[in-house]
Structure 1
């Protein structure tokens, strides 16, 4: 009996120990789950900024101007007067076409203009005295012919009445009289025109011919001018694509000219930073080889490049200050005017119901705190109200937190 009681007591003790162990394991599991549910956050300590902020944006160097040059006319390249790498001045002749045919066209056009000028002068002056005198003689001759025809016709009438001539002969003489009188009228009209002086229609026709001849001359001269390739700006010959004696034409690139007197650094600035970039601001530009130069912001695009999601910005650097090459990647350091202001990262500020807020860290939880923001300085907001120096706020990931939620700071 005693043995059975002892076994029972042992069994009860074992059962109690197992239950205790199970309860302890459950408690430990609950504690672990509680710890797991506490989110870890990055903390940012709010301080009044004492130093100027500097933005750094990378960009690509490009020459101030670059152009592919080609002739404006077709022909055979007669001369190339520069070599690759040569420095040239604006207006300098770089190459020429064979101008033989083109010059012949200019000469022919000059001849047409000269002839048209002579015709115009003659039309404007009217008939010369000898032309008038000749026409008067023609009129007198026509009068004599008409008078003679009239007499012969009168005599024929008398002869026909006496039966001396036939009806056909009478009709022939009558027709000769009418024709002689018509010829006289034409000569008198011609004399009248000469006596009136210059004919308006003749002058207008001569003017039109002269104008057309001048148009042809201008075209011929332009074609001759297009046969000479000149530098549109000062720069360096970067490439020569064609050779002497080669046939070429409009639009066919002969050489490439670049202007290295200034370099353009083309940047793509994010929307959070674009408000800080102002035309005329000075920028420090740093190249991969360590060289530095001072640049100036010369262009800030008013619209975003939708394909890149950023705003194009251009910084101009004097070519005399650096020995750069087109296509290099450089870094522009832009200093922001943000001294003695309280700044927090853009990622630490949220917007709710048209107001800004931050998640302030109070011991082991977060508190949603409304703030009033000022300007934006690169990737930082200026805080005007709502925070004090020394406050700790959540640096990022606000959308995953709720007001009053327990958190653990990452560096603790």
Structure 2
């Protein structure tokens, strides 16, 4: 009886083991059957154009400091802050009475010098005649010549003094060296003006054309140089395509610009280099001090391209899903910009790698995945 009970128990145990094994196999088969089939593509290389933006500052082609050339009190102001003035127009007046008196003194000195010159000339001619008749010595003639030359020098000095007085008198009226817009005044009527004043009276900005200055990283600049044709910096500049300007509000400026200068060296602190683009400003829409963004297209050849729709962005990092050993793998990739609806990949993928194109929204790393066959993809499409 006991033997029968043992045999029966053994039989029941073996049945349970077999049943558990079958259930496990069924679960594995069911698990495999539930693994999603997702479409995959092969990473490709190609050419791309990337639109890049760089913060820019606007300045007039001429920003002139208006400073006094003579010392005196500011007596008149002919313009107002913000006025548009033309080259040669009077802006400020420094009290000129002192310079007028200096001019009169110089003119009087010239009259005296010219009279002395005439007298010395008469004396010289008379002594030359007397010398011919041996009535005066050679030394006396030479003394007369020296006096005559001194009188000539006095006339020249007086003439120079007159010119200097006229220059100072003209400097008392400060005129616009270029056409443009007047800035804020740093001094008011009655202020003492000297050439050594720390601040200029004002700034005059010529904005019929404007310069926009922007900085480019070393990598961007190296790529920029590679794209241009020419052996010298000037040839590269001449062959540079037009650039655009986005205003501070985001709207595009109507005129296209042209890069016309590149700084001579990189900034050691920031690792960037400054470029300058020139824009026409026919309606004086742009002013010195405006800010915006320079937009320029950069071309890349034979680069890794990855559809943006086939990526996932987490905390500003870009990831792509691939399949390895039947499971999903999430790979981080580094991008170097956008070309239309594609990322330009600089690191993380290479040509020939495969990636999941769609259907990975709820996919987790390590989840079993089956690559969808091409025929199935074609039928769905």
Return the TM-score normalized by structure 1.
0.56
Matched with 1:63 is 60
Matched with 1:312 is 274
Counterpart-to-counterpart distance in 1, 2:135 and 2:52: 92
Aligned CA RMSD, in angstroms, stands at 4.1
- 5 Å-filtered alignment, 1:154-303, equals 191-192=136-137, 199-252=144-197, 253-275=200-222, 276=224, 278-280=236-238, 281=240, 282-289=242-249, 290-292=251-253, 293-303=255-265
Contact kept, 8 Å, 2:124 with 2:144, in 1: the verdict is no
- 5 Å-filtered alignment, 1:335-374, equals 335-338=297-300, 341-344=301-304
Where does structure 2 lack aligned partners over 5 or more consecutive residues? 7-40, 226-235, 306-321, 326-338, 356-364, 370-381
Contact kept, 8 Å, 2:262 with 2:275, in 1: the verdict is yes
Contact kept, 8 Å, 2:207 with 2:288, in 1: the verdict is no
Query: Following TM superposition, by how much is the alpha carbon of 1:127 offset from its aligned partner in structure 2, in angstroms?
Result: 4.8
Query: Following TM superposition, by how much is the alpha carbon of 1:251 offset from its aligned partner in structure 2, in angstroms?
Result: 3.8
Q: Deviations over 1:291-310 (max 9, x none)?
A: 32311101112311223210
Task: Kindly name which structure, 1 or 2, has the bigger radius of gyration based on alpha carbons.
Answer: 1
Counterpart-to-counterpart distance in 2, 1:265 and 1:312: 10
Matched with 2:110 is 113
Query: Following TM superposition, by how much is the alpha carbon of 1:331 offset from its aligned partner in structure 2, in angstroms?
Result: 1.5
Contact kept, 8 Å, 1:288 with 1:329, in 2: the verdict is yes
SS in 2 for 1:121: helix
Contact kept, 8 Å, 2:128 with 2:141, in 1: the verdict is no
- 5 Å-filtered alignment, 1:76-95, equals 76-95=73-92
Query: Following TM superposition, by how much is the alpha carbon of 1:328 offset from its aligned partner in structure 2, in angstroms?
Result: 3.2
Contact kept, 8 Å, 2:127 with 2:136, in 1: the verdict is no
Q: How many residue pairs get matched?
A: 272
Return the TM-score normalized by structure 2.
0.60
